[in-house]
Amino acid sequence: MPEDRIEYSCLEGYKTANNMPTDTTRCGINGEWSPAPECLVACTASEEDMDRNNVELKWSRETKLYSTSGDYIEFDCKAGYVKEQEPSHYKVQCVEGVLDYPRCRLGRSCTVNTNHTESNNIQLQSPQSRTSTYRSGDFIFFECKSGYRQISRTEKFRAQCLDGAITYPTCQSRFG
């Protein structure tokens, strides 16, 4: 009948193209129905897809995330991996069920160089630590050797292995 109405709603995880939770279609004077609303497909960030690209969700420890079309999801590299793309590629928009995942590659490990520790008058903070090799992204804690004082800012003594490189802090003799 003319002016009859039907209310549509999208399934959970979907939304209408006009961003409304429901939409109404009505029968016009000539018996033609107005177009039904378009429900946009949701995206699923899955553990398998994230593992394949060596990424994880940036703000959540979840292994799966559902998002509606138009939403943004932020990713970060897994521990030991480094970004392969520009930082802007790690904030991804769900477009009708499709996520264009960013990629990370295995970062190069770092080895603490004894020549650098000697010339900078530093040592590992935990001498009992047997390892001198760290994965990319790991933090390495240094301290001044006995009889030396910090020249570098305190935060430099918490150095990070970044794709094979370490920025070493520096200490100098207390008597010099």
> What residues are paired with 77 via a beta bridge?
55
Q: Look up the CATH number of domain 110-173.
A: 2.10.70.10
Tokens 């020549």 — which residue? Answer: 115
pLDDT in the model for residue 171: 96
| Fold of the domain spanning 43-106 | Complement Module; domain 1 (2.10.70)
- Label residue 28 by pLDDT band (50, 70, 90): low
CB–CB of 66/44 below 8 Å? yes
DSSP code for 156: G
Does the pLDDT value for residue 80 go beyond 60?
Answer: yes
- Label residue 3 by pLDDT band (50, 70, 90): low
Q: What are the residue boundaries of the structural domains of the chain, listed by start?
A: 7-40, 43-106, 110-173
pLDDT in the model for residue 17: 67
Q: Give pTM, 2 decimals.
A: 0.65
CB–CB of 91/57 below 8 Å? no
Mean pLDDT value of segment 144-161: 95
